[in-house]
Amino acid sequence: MQPTIYDVAKKAGVSIATVSKVINKNGRIGKETRKKVLKIMEELNYQPSVLASALTGKRTETIGVLIPDLTNPFFAEITASMEERAHERGFSVVICSTNDSEEKEAKYISLLLRKKVDGCILASRFKQVGLIENMVKQGIPVALTSQDIPSLNLNTVSVDDYKGGYKATAYLGSLGHKKIAMIAEKNVRSSHERIKGYVDAMIEMGFSVDDTLIREVEPTVTGGKQATEELLSLKEPPTAIFAGNEILAIGVSRAARSFQLDIPNDFSVIGFDNTLLATICDPPLTTIAQPIEQIGKQIVDILISEINGELGNKQRIMLPPELVIRKSTKELSGGKRLDEG
């Protein structure tokens, strides 16, 4: 087995208290003693047990991260960013994929409490507000990302979804599109904000907001594809679609292709997130970029600040989304479609 503090103490001929002080650089320890202890620790390749140390009231140096689904590139990328930052700051990350199941949310929260994580990051789509309140009551720091729960006073870092929705729609409008549809993810707060941005932009540009042009679906390629097929089958189909994320946008592309529509010449699509997918699909997606890496780093930093008790007030940070123009959007030309002037 691994050596313990007792092994070090014995071999160095000192007490475990002394060794502990050397490890933690506190208390006053003579130069000679310190040197000797350090040497022995080196020799034995001694690694203090985080368990024992945490039991006495210190950190576990672990944070829990709850995300809906790691196979979604958006969450994979944000998780990667959080993981990197956490390790830079001396914390490890326990990943829990909830798959949007409320049962799992509850199970994982309880698991993380039993493991005494120092704090938790809840990424988008967390459903049970009561569970969060519970953690907060127990005094464990919680931070939210990509979702804001206004009723709770929590540290939050997210992108400005409203503005993103607005920007996407306004951009399509600026290209001459008037009949613009939106396909959004179902039952997600951030999605609602994006829709609001879409609606406001439409109104501001003087276009009619037609409920049949707003679809809320499961966030899958098929979901996006089916919704698009329905939209394209309308009497007056849209000339552009704003997809609430890139998985959906890919579904849109698929559907357009099956309708023999060329993107971007016959039809425009804009996505949201700017993950690997946007660059990889064909044509590369014009999209509203979230500063994914920055979100991940910042949420970790804030959580750790709170863990350290350095934070006075809760922070709610909203980062600006950015339009990234690629090849899936184009000016509306009178082309294949008939449009009212």
Partner DNA sequence: AAGCACCTTGAAATCGTTTTCATGTATGTG
Partner DNA sequence: CACATACATGAAAACGATTTCAAGGTGCTT
Geometric angle at alpha carbon 317, from 314 and 318, rounded to 5°: 150
Q: What length does the chain have?
A: 341
**Residue among 256, 190, 196, 195 at smallest CA distance from 221:** 256
Give, as one character, the DSSP assignment of residue 261.
P
CB atoms within 10 A of CB 258: 12
**Closest to 118 measured CA to CA, from 85, 84, 94:** 94
Which option in DNA, a copy of itself, none does residue 170 bind, with CB closer than 5 to 8 A by kind?
none
Please say which residue, 25 or 235, places its beta carbon nearer to DNA.
25
Query: Are residues 269 and 256 in contact, defined by beta-carbon separation less than 8 angstroms?
Result: yes
Q: Which residues bind DNA (CB under 7 A)?
A: 1, 4-6, 13-18, 20-21, 23-24, 26-34, 46-49, 51-53, 55-58
Contact status: 324 vs a copy of itself (CB under 8 A): no
Q: Count interface residues toward a copy of itself (CB under 8 A).
A: 50
Which one of the spans 153-161, 175-183, 227-235, 272-280 is the region binding a copy of itself (CB under 8 A)? Answer: 272-280
33 binds, among a copy of itself, DNA, none (CB under 5 to 8 A by kind): DNA
Minimum distance of a copy of itself from residue 209's CB (angstroms): 31
- How many CA atoms lie within 13 Å of 163's alpha carbon, on the beta-carbon side? 11
Residue 115's nearest CA partner among 55, 56, 67 is 55
Residues 22-61 that bind a copy of itself (CB under 8 A): 47-52, 54-55, 60-61
Closest CA to 53 of 26, 25, 24: 24
Among 301, 300, 262, CA closest to 282? 262
Q: Which is nearer to a copy of itself, 60 or 169 (CB)?
A: 60
Percent helix, strand and coil across the chain, each rounded to 5? 45, 15, 40
In a 3-state reduction of DSSP, which class is residue 142?
strand
The answer to the question of residue 116 lying near a copy of itself (CB under 8 A) is yes
- C-alpha to C-alpha distance for 231 and 252, rounded to whole angstroms: 10
Question: Segment contacting a copy of itself (CB under 8 A): 33-41, 107-115, 185-193, 297-305?
Answer: 107-115
Q: What is the smallest separation between the CB atom of 83 and a copy of itself, expressed in angstroms?
A: 5
* Least CB distance to a copy of itself at residue 264 (A): 14
Residue 51 or 338 having the CB closest to a copy of itself: 51
The answer to the question of residue 152 lying near a copy of itself (CB under 8 A) is: no
Among 23, 29, 38, 70, binds a copy of itself (CB under 8 A): 70
Provide the binding-site residues for a copy of itself, judged by CB under 8 A: 1-2, 47-52, 54-55, 60-62, 69-71, 73, 76-77, 79-80, 83-84, 87, 92-97, 104, 107-108, 110-111, 113-116, 138-139, 221, 250, 276-277, 279-283
